[in-house]
Structure 1
Amino acid sequence: MLKTALSAWMLAGLSIVNAQAAENIGFREIDLAQSAENRALHVALWYPTASTEPVVSTGENQVFFGGPAILDAPIAGQAHPLVVLSHGYRGNWRNLSWLATELVRQGYVVAAPNHPGTTSFDTRPEEAARLWERPRDLSRVIDHLTQNPALAGPVQGDRIAAIGHSLGGWTVTALAGARYSAQRLREECQLHPSPRICGLAPELGIAPEQQSLLGQDLRDPRVKAFVSLDLGFARGFTAQSLASIEQPILVMGAGVDINGDLPFQMESAHLIAQLPQDLVSSEKIADASHFSFMQKCKPGAVALLEKEAPGDEIICQDGDGRSREAIHRQVADRVSTFLAKAIPPQ
């Protein structure tokens, strides 16, 4: 979970890159309008295409590398499974863009919304406090893509998965049917204090009277598989709701807690122990940090962040072992294997 927001000038834009193999990945961004029931959403889409140009680098900026794709490419004709992505607190759709391109190469359509109130570009407290809207954002994206095949191609409605990092891991677990309890989190924080996690509800502006909304069943039965990447806020879920989850879930966590905010044992391991053991798969990546699940940092990114956003240079720090690229390969391989089994090809 990012402690501070990166400057918008570091995060914006697409870059035109030299012609290279984009591996038939199409990319576009769309906006879903606000309605009486739903908030406005900005959504990034990656999808299979037969086109080969023009190639852009998606998710690239002065800090992070991007991934090649064909901007506004024509869609492929056949139906594909869908994966929705959820970013962490004060993150954005770019954070898992590296995984999105990996999944499209395997035939998935991928969609990643910015969650209002908890993104790099939007930290409005009144929206951040509406934490229950995060799972609903994903459901709304699923609605829109299944009903509008012209955006990213036809979607196989019985092959949908959700993947989230950090607070996004909390989001997809809630989408699977887990329910939040303010009392549960209070009790856990009395036993095992964690300054960051135990202070998150007040920081978000969550009030006691919002318990009924946060504690509601936010399950989306269309989603058949879930992946949590080093989630936070796990100890606020009730044991009963976690034990009642009915779909397979993969929980991956970082073994290196570089900032003392998200110890594996208190978050990912806690979630793993509470889930149905016949449905949960898990992996602790010993040399990964919380931010290893984000994009690969460019050379010089640490120095740039130290100058422009002191404290944020932590997002480029991994453990003392392999490169972030190698960690990404391990994560992508494990996620791909899990999804192939959980939502197998038709």
Structure 2
Amino acid sequence: MKLSAVLTVLFLCISKLAFAESVGFQQFQLASDTSRPLKVSLWYPTSQNSPSESVAENLAFIGTEVIKDASVLPTKHPLVLLSHGYRGNWRNQSWLANSLALKGYVVAAINHPGTTTFNHSRLQASQWWQRPHDLVRVLDYLLEDTIWRASIDAENVSAIGHSLGGWSVMQLVGAQLDRDAFKAQCQLYANPKTCGLADELGLTSSQPGEPKFFNFYDPRIKKAVILDLGGARSFSLKSMAKVETPVLILGAGIDIGDLPQAMESGYLAEHLPLFNRHYKVYEQAMHFSFLQVCKPGAITLIEEEVPGDGIVCKDGSGTSRLKLHQQMFKDIFSFLTHA
């Protein structure tokens, strides 16, 4: 194909997005018959520009400016589902959600009960299969809701996950838990985080109510973005080899004491089919560089409350989290629109 034709195709893909000057924001709770209510946060493009207020901000982290309960631009928008990491929350990738909404996306982030900042229930944490199911529940709701189904392009749905969220998203595109393989890998490469949390996350033995089959593939998910995941070695090689959904794998180059990215993100990249996976490492990024930008003095503030947790605001020397986010967004947006 000639370069001019390629550029034309790329332009047409981007031109379908309804870019916006402002971001609308809503939150609601998705009820459940299984005692697992989900808090959902939505970012989306809007033509309204006031009244503006900050969300996802606290003493340590910078939030984003949104128009609460604004109307959504009247056209079909691509949808992105966001899954946070272990004991994270909907705020963690708010910088990414806001940026995508400005480019015309509807973005839905949820708190996963049991593994979120606000809910440490060991029972819910051990129900590992609920994490991918949480994302499916939100997708089902948005595509069935009278208002949102008119605003979402059901043929353009992607999922993005950080850390344990990346592990959850991978299951939606076909990766499957293999307990025997996971146990063997932990014996070979013992590590304090992924292997150390295995009992809490229900990965070492069968759990009450666990599905008989571990196949959570959802064909509605057309693309997946994996942000420095953990737990890649718990997936069966056979299931990874069969993944056909395009996957962008982004790793953090600086090790923080767990398995280095080459043994997590790199392992995933090694075993996914080459034709549909993209893999990049940010050499100056740390695991938590994918979280919000921290405020000045945040490290000291966090260390005073929980010694050791200040690491969530640390990045590699010679860069800044804002610069890293700019490159990350460029790579993610390019993948979502061009891959």
Tell me the TM-score normalised to structure 1 length.
0.89
Distance across 2 between alignment mates of 1:195 and 1:109: 36
**Runs of 4+ with >6 A deviation:** none
Show the counterpart of 2:320. 323
Corresponding residue of 2:311:
314
2:95 aligned residue: 98
Q: 1:219 aligns with which of 213, 217, 220?
A: 217
The answer for the alignment partner of 1:29 in structure 2 is: 27
Distance 2:62 2:259 in 1: 25
Aligned residues: percent identity? 47
Q: Does 1:124 align with 2:139?
A: no
Opposite residue 23 of structure 2, the aligned amino acid is: I
Which of 73, 78, 82 does residue 81 from structure 1 map onto?
A: 78
Aligned residues: 319
Are 1:182 and 2:179 an aligned pair?
yes
Correspondence for 2:247: 249
Q: Distance in 2 between matches of 1:307 and 1:209?
A: 39
| Superposition deviation, residue 148 in structure 1 | 1.7
Q: Determine helix, strand or coil for the equivalent of 1:93.
A: coil
Say which is worse superposed, 134-143 or 83-92, in terms of deviation: 134-143
The whole-number CA distance in structure 2 between the counterparts of 1:50 and 1:222 is 28
Match among 253, 261, 264 for residue 267 of structure 1: 264
Q: Which residue of 1 aligns with 2:16?
A: none
Give the Cα–Cα distance (whole angstroms) in 1 for the partners of residues 273 and 308 of structure 2: 38
Aligned to 1:173: 170
Deviation at residue 153 of structure 1 after TM alignment: 5.7
Question: How far apart are the structure 1 equivalents of 2:193 and 2:121?
Answer: 19
SS for the counterpart of 2:59 is coil
| Structure 1 runs not aligned, ≥5 long | 1-21
Please say if residues 247 and 279 of structure 1, whose CA atoms lie closer than 8 Å, have aligned partners that are also in contact.
yes
Which residue of the partner structure matches residue 188 of structure 2?
191
Cα 1:193–1:206, aligned 2, differ >3 Å: closer, same or farther?
closer
CA distance in 2 between partners of 1:126 and 1:178 (Å): 24
Displacement after TM superposition at 1:205 (Å): 4.4
Hey, what does 2:10 align to over in structure 1? none
Judging changes above 3 Å, is the alpha-carbon distance between structure 1 residues 315 and 152 closer, same or farther for their aligned structure 2 residues? farther
- TM-score after normalising by structure 2: 0.91
Alpha-carbon contact 1:179-1:215 (below 8 Å) kept: no
Give the Cα–Cα distance (whole angstroms) in 1 for the partners of residues 117 and 137 of structure 2: 21
Q: CA RMSD in A?
A: 1.6
**How far apart are residue 171 of structure 1 and its match?**
0.7
* Cα distance change of structure 1 residues 270 and 207 upon mapping to structure 2, 3 Å threshold: closer
Aligned to 1:43: 40
Q: Whole-Å Cα distance in 2 between the matches of residues 149 and 246 of structure 1?
A: 31
Give CA-to-partner distance per residue, 1:242-270, whole Å, 9 cap, x none.
0111110000000001x211411110000
Contact 2:286 2:315 in 1 (8 A): yes
Q: Aligned partners of 1:321 and 1:215: how far apart in 2? A: 47
Q: Does structure 1 conserve the Cα–Cα contact (< 8 Å) formed by 2:128 and 2:202?
A: no
User: Equivalent residue for 1:291?
Assistant: 288
Preserved CA contact (<8 Å) 1:248 1:279: yes
Whether the 8 Å CA contact 2:183–2:204 is kept in 1: the answer is no
- Decide whether the 8 Å contact of 2:143 with 2:149 is kept in 1: no
